[in-house]
Chain A
Amino acid sequence: GAGVSQSPSNKVTEKGKDVELRCDPISGHTALYWYRQSLGQGLEFLIYFQGNSAPDKSGLPSDRFSAERTGGSVSTLTIQRTQQEDSAVYLCASSLRPDQETQYFGPGTRLLVL
């Protein structure tokens, strides 16, 4: 596609439920990134994929967070047993390669945990 797409645009869930956030990167981009942006703050790195593998999962805040990427394309970020502090905007980005390359962002998913 023309740009990075994410779905859903907004998600409201109840505390304790699981949620899945989807990212579809720019075609041909091998690197994919997930970031979290809490209200009024900068971006927090979560995880990075090169192809289907995730060399760096160090940014995931807890074991309730997991992510996968299939076919070197679409990625899913899953949050299990959501907590209110998980409420944030989750941004996905992709780049042609992981280094030296500009990261292009999707519109994000706003997650609200009640």
Chain B
Amino acid sequence: AQTVTQSQPEMSVQEAETVTLSCTYDTSESDYYLFWYKQPPSRQMILVIRQEAYKQQNATENRFSVNFQKAAKSFSLKISDSQLGDAAMYFCACLMDSNYQLIWGAGTKLIIKP
């Protein structure tokens, strides 16, 4: 069975500093897609970044970047220059190429200290 694991229930970072959120996954498939979603208190699930497993280059979106290690099945999210608005729950998810159902991690609560 496919699983996604986020080992950090909560992380905190000082405003303007950098923080890395961890995610590991387990799948036997070769083609899949990885996502980081952000869920602020408003509870809207917002896409942060997406990575295709067949791409070697790590995805980046402004202050957000990933470290995708396919052999290690690791997909961490780095947030640079943290802002107060980044405070939220962050969920890692995996979509198998042969499937349609997102497999979710348990989430990491990110706290930004002013």
How many contacts between A and B, using CB within 8 angstroms? Answer: 53
Residue interface mask B83-99, A partner, CB < 8 A = 1: 00000000100010111
Q: How far is the CA of A99 from the CA of B95 in the complex (A)?
A: 8
Q: How far is the CA of A95 from the CA of B94 in the complex (A)?
A: 15
Q: Is the CB of B102 within 8 A of A100?
A: no
Which size bracket describes the interface of B in this complex? 20 to 34
Q: A33, A45, A56, A110: which contacts B43 (Cβ < 8 A)?
A: A110
Collect the chain B residues with CB atoms within 8 Å of residue A7's CB.
none
A51 CB–B CB distance under 8 Å: no
Q: How far is the CA of A58 from the CA of B44 in the complex (A)?
A: 25
Residue interface mask B72-114, A partner, CB < 8 A = 1: 0000000000000000000100010111111011110000000
Residue ranges of A at the interface with B (Cβ–Cβ < 8 Å): 31, 33, 41-43, 45, 48, 56, 89, 91, 93, 98-100, 102-108, 110
Residue ranges of B at the interface with A (Cβ–Cβ < 8 Å): 33, 35, 37, 42-47, 50, 91, 95, 97-102, 104-107
The 7 A-B residue pairs with the shortest CB-CB distance, nearest first, are: A105-B45, A98-B100, A42-B104, A107-B44, A43-B104, A42-B106, A108-B43
